[in-house]
Structure 1
Amino acid sequence: MRKDGEPQASFRRLETDGRKVETRRRVANKHKRRQLGGVGLKAWVVGLVGVVALGVLLLTLVFGSRRGNRIPVFPHGHRYIFVASPGRAGSGFLRNVFGCAKGVLSRHEPAPKMNGHVLEEVLIRGRRQESFPRRSEEKLKGISEDLLGYPMGTVYVETSHMMIKTFLDVVLDSIAAEGVQVDIVILHRDPLEAIRSQSRLGWFHSSHSGRNSWYFSVSDLHHTERMGISIRKDALSTKYSRLAEVVAYNADHERRVQSIIGKGESGFLPPSVKVSQVNLEDLNKISAVGAFLESLNLEVDDAKLAILFSMDKNSRDRKKKDMLSQAEDSVLASILDSYSLTSRKRKTL
């Protein structure tokens, strides 16, 4: 016989079971939502990271490309003077001469010197064009740092003999091409005296460290950098082969100088570039130095100029003669004549 309380007990069991099922359903749904939420969060984070990475990549490509192709624009408001010389031609003395002008920052061989690996890369390996952006950026950065703290209108002068070898293109294509006024002063010295000085210092000696660092042998030049000069060793004994290399180097320099002069006379240089020439031997009097500076539209500081000519060291430098043996001088004169490098004075522009 069924008791009267049994239906209620069954109902309560069903109700309890239903609540348990509902609770399990809610727990399952909550767990599922958590799983879905976790997956969604992970996907969102992954997507965000991907977007950021893509953005960084694009920025790197854009700015990296710009940097690789950028030719630094040199600051306007200054004027620049660079000197072309072969070395041992008086460029150090000329730095002091420019220091006697007002409003001038005069440097001889400032950093970066553009020698060593730069000379090897440009002249020996023939990578002038490929290395141009880096060389340009390095050199202009150095000049900019030198000019820090100097007022607008300061004339920057550099008398380094590396200019004509490794960064003439920087001067023309990164500075002058921007419309900045540039003077290129070609410094001449009697080739006999310059070569005597180079030889006395051991240029092209097997133990000398300067070869292909701040000077070069024409036989080592890349074919794209040659000026048509070869070493004249015919009829010369090996005793004088080093002397022949020194002369060939100076003959190569003279070709480079004549190329600049020719481009200037033919209008192939930027319009803001002016080319002039000066003979070291002519800068032996205060009046001559003053006239030289004024020819470049520089204001002479008479007090500094007087001090320069009162310094014994500079006086000795101007009068110093680097001697070779009589036999070497005779051979040297013969080689110079074969390259048409004579001791005659050069005209100034």
Structure 2
Amino acid sequence: MNNTAKLRFIPMDSAAQQSVEMANLTRRSEIATLTGPSEPSSSAVHVFVLSAFDDSSLQKIAGFKGRGILLFPDQETSGPFIEKVMKSSFVPVPVKLESLAALSFSHAVKSIETLFVESSEQDFSLGEEDLFAVFQAHRLNRFYYTEGRHLREAVLRMAHRVRSRRGIESVAYTLTVPANTALFSLDEALDVLEIAVPPEKPLHFAIRFASGTNHIKISACIASSERTPSDIQSRIDAHPTYLGKLAVIVEGFADGKIDEKRMDELCRENGIEPEDADRLYDIFYVRADETAALMRHLRESRSADERIELIAKALADNFIDVRVLEELANLYRLPADRIIARAGALQEEGSASK
């Protein structure tokens, strides 16, 4: 699907109509009325907006054929309505009512339009070209939205929100920035957001350039299967490496699915040092921006010597431990003994200078 396809928003009630009108849609979108069984054109994406649980409205669009998105209030995760939605052909997008209902739906509507529709020649997209590889039926697709005057602050806020939903299977991001944004600022923002997304997951990333504004707007759609805490052990078992198993446990703790006591139990049951879990949580959740900078510098380094120096300094500063060192050494095919020796030398230099 081309991400410049026409969007057709169809409000299913008066409150939904108000929300769609508040979104200030572009000319690439239109507000339509449901007059009967829809015969969607291949070039249009239909977005049905339903501001309250309503079986009768759901029945009106039950015969819809093609690609459609259904926005509805995120007030419950089970029940007859949700079961019907999850069995339908629609991409279900529950909208969390964080403020006034009309405003919450308006943000979701605008986020969908911004994600699907290019608005200037400078815009570009990365990852999945077909957004329905990310937006999928039979899975919940939640939108998150944030804005701020400074790119760094807004990105860190969004990364924190996405990391708190670590059961995700795919992510779609939209980042709207002023046209004069410095490239190094965008690069740093992408690094921070990259850490928030699990590797090898369907991803669509769109950057939209706006003019005449100093505000940064970021939205993310997270498609997920609703996991239960009981499957965390199977996820641990699926990882062959120590660090992979450790990451699953730390993610469960960061997501609030297990408490600190259960995290320690899972560590001991799986041969993991609890201190390593504390360290990993600090690196990827408390100090995410510093970790992003380290990973970016490693990618940009042109020689093995530069990478050895970077990793050795991180080890000498106690920013990473030996197990993380081993993972990075394997990733970049570096001699671990040289890194450890250099870290020791850096520590001695630091002690001598005091």
Classify the TM-score, shorter chain: under 0.3
Q: Which one has a larger percent strand, Structure 1 or Structure 2?
A: 2
Structure with max Cα Rg: 1
Q: Which one has a larger percent helix, Structure 1 or Structure 2?
A: 1
Scaled by the length of structure 2, what TM-score is found? 0.22
Scaled by the length of structure 1, what TM-score is found? 0.22
